[in-house]
Homo-oligomer: A and B are copies of this chain.
Amino acid sequence: MTGAEALVATLVNGGVEVCFANPGTSEMHIVHALDRLAKVRCVLGLFEGVVTGAADGYARMAGKPACTLLHLAPGLSNGLANLHNASRAHVPLLNLVGQHATQHLRFASPLKGDIEAVAGLYSKWLRTSSAPEQIGQDAAAAIVAARTAPEGTATLIVPADVAWSDRGSTVALPPIPQSPLPTAESVEHAARILRSDSPAALLLSGNGLYSEGLIAAGRIAAGTGARLLTPYGFTRIERGAGRAVVDRIPYDPEQAADFLKDLRHLILVGADPPVAHFAHRGKASELAPRTCELFALATPTEDCAGALRALAEALSLHSTKPRCETASRPPLPSGSITLPRLANAIAALLPEGAIVADESMTSGRGIMAAARGAPRHDWLANTGGSIGFALPLAVGAAIACLDRRVLSLTADGSGMYTLQALWTIAREELNVTTVIFANRAYAILYAEFDTINVGQPGEMTRTLFDLIHPELDWVMLSRGLGVPAFRVDSMDEFCRVLRKGFEEPGPKLIEVVL
Task: Look across to chain B and name the residue whose beta carbon is closest to the beta carbon of A74.
Answer: B386
Task: Look across to chain B and name the residue whose beta carbon is closest to the beta carbon of A85.
Answer: B74
Please, how many angstroms separate the alpha-carbon atoms of A80 and B38 in the complex?
Answer: 33
Please, how many angstroms separate the alpha-carbon atoms of A88 and B110 in the complex?
Answer: 7
Decide: A109 near B277, CB < 8 A? Known: A34-B460, A452-B164, A481-B472: yes
Inter-subunit contact B416/A384 (CB<8 Å): no
A203 close to B (CB within 8 Å): no
Inter-subunit contact A470/B423 (CB<8 Å): yes
User: Which of B49, B160, B461, B476 has a CB less than 8 Å from the CB of A279?
Assistant: B160
A327 close to B (CB within 8 Å): no
Tell me the residues in window 8-42 of chain A with beta carbons closer than 8 Å to chain B beta carbons: 21, 23-26, 28-29, 31-32, 34-36, 38, 42
A140 to chain B, nearest CB (A): 23
Interface segment, A100-108, A208-216, A397-405?
Answer: A100-108
Task: Look across to chain B and name the residue whose beta carbon is closest to the beta carbon of A471.
Answer: B482
- Residues on B with beta carbons closer than 8 Å to the beta carbon of A108: 272-273, 275
How many A residues touch B, CB cutoff 8 Å?
A: 98
Inter-subunit contact A107/B464 (CB<8 Å): no
Please, how many angstroms separate the alpha-carbon atoms of A250 and B275 in the complex?
Answer: 55
Please, how many angstroms separate the alpha-carbon atoms of A427 and B461 in the complex?
Answer: 15
Please, how many angstroms separate the alpha-carbon atoms of A101 and B24 in the complex?
Answer: 39
Inter-subunit contact B417/A46 (CB<8 Å): yes
A111 close to B (CB within 8 Å): yes
User: Which of B47, B113, B388, B464 has a CB less than 8 Å from the CB of A84?
Assistant: B113
A243 to chain B, nearest CB (A): 25
Inter-subunit contact A28/B449 (CB<8 Å): yes
A238 close to B (CB within 8 Å): no
Residue among A110, A382, A417 facing the most chain B CB atoms (10 A cut-off) = A110
A448 close to B (CB within 8 Å): yes
A340 close to B (CB within 8 Å): no
Task: Look across to chain B and name the residue whose beta carbon is closest to the beta carbon of A105.
Answer: B279
Inter-subunit contact A84/B78 (CB<8 Å): no
Inter-subunit contact B464/A23 (CB<8 Å): yes
Residue among A277, A477, A480 facing the most chain B CB atoms (10 A cut-off) = A480
Inter-subunit contact B78/A469 (CB<8 Å): no
Inter-subunit contact A473/B480 (CB<8 Å): yes
Tell me how many chains of this kind the complex includes: 2
Inter-subunit contact A121/B117 (CB<8 Å): yes
Decide: A35 near B457, CB < 8 A? Known: A277-B111, A476-B477: yes
Please, how many angstroms separate the alpha-carbon atoms of A459 and B36 in the complex?
Answer: 9
- Residues on B with beta carbons closer than 8 Å to the beta carbon of A107: 273, 275, 285-286
Inter-subunit contact B445/A25 (CB<8 Å): yes
User: Which of B279, B384, B416, B460 has a CB less than 8 Å from the CB of A100?
Assistant: B279
Inter-subunit contact A275/B472 (CB<8 Å): no
Task: Look across to chain B and name the residue whose beta carbon is closest to the beta carbon of A109.
Answer: B275
Please, how many angstroms separate the alpha-carbon atoms of A452 and B275 in the complex?
Answer: 53
Inter-subunit contact A460/B110 (CB<8 Å): no
A271 to chain B, nearest CB (A): 10
Please, how many angstroms separate the alpha-carbon atoms of A464 and B41 in the complex?
Answer: 11
Decide: A480 near B482, CB < 8 A? Known: A32-B454, A38-B460, A42-B464: no
Tell me the residues in window 155-175 of chain A with beta carbons closer than 8 Å to chain B beta carbons: 160-161, 164
Residue among A26, A272, A384 facing the most chain B CB atoms (10 A cut-off) = A384
- Residues on B with beta carbons closer than 8 Å to the beta carbon of A26: 278
Contact with B along A447-488 (1 / 0, CB 8 A): 011001010011111011001011111111101111000000
Please, how many angstroms separate the alpha-carbon atoms of A454 and B36 in the complex?
Answer: 10
Please, how many angstroms separate the alpha-carbon atoms of A380 and B419 in the complex?
Answer: 27
Inter-subunit contact B103/A78 (CB<8 Å): no
Please, how many angstroms separate the alpha-carbon atoms of A475 and B480 in the complex?
Answer: 7
- Residues on B with beta carbons closer than 8 Å to the beta carbon of A24: 445
Please, how many angstroms separate the alpha-carbon atoms of A473 and B477 in the complex?
Answer: 9
Residue among A42, A77, A85, A277 facing the most chain B CB atoms (10 A cut-off) = A77
Inter-subunit contact A477/B469 (CB<8 Å): no
A44 close to B (CB within 8 Å): yes
The 7 closest A-B pairs by CB, nearest first: A470-B482, A476-B480, A74-B386, A110-B385, A104-B279, A101-B279, A77-B80
Q: What would 20 more interface pairs be, CB under 8 Å, given A29-B452, A113-B121?
A: A28-B452, A31-B449, A31-B460, A31-B461, A31-B464, A32-B449, A44-B464, A46-B413, A75-B386, A109-B277, A109-B385, A110-B382, A117-B120, A160-B279, A164-B281, A470-B481, A471-B482, A472-B482, A476-B480, A480-B480
User: What are 17 A-B interface contacts by the 8 Å CB criterion?
Assistant: A23-B445, A26-B278, A28-B445, A28-B452, A38-B460, A46-B413, A46-B467, A74-B80, A103-B279, A104-B278, A107-B286, A109-B285, A416-B420, A423-B472, A427-B469, A472-B481, A477-B480
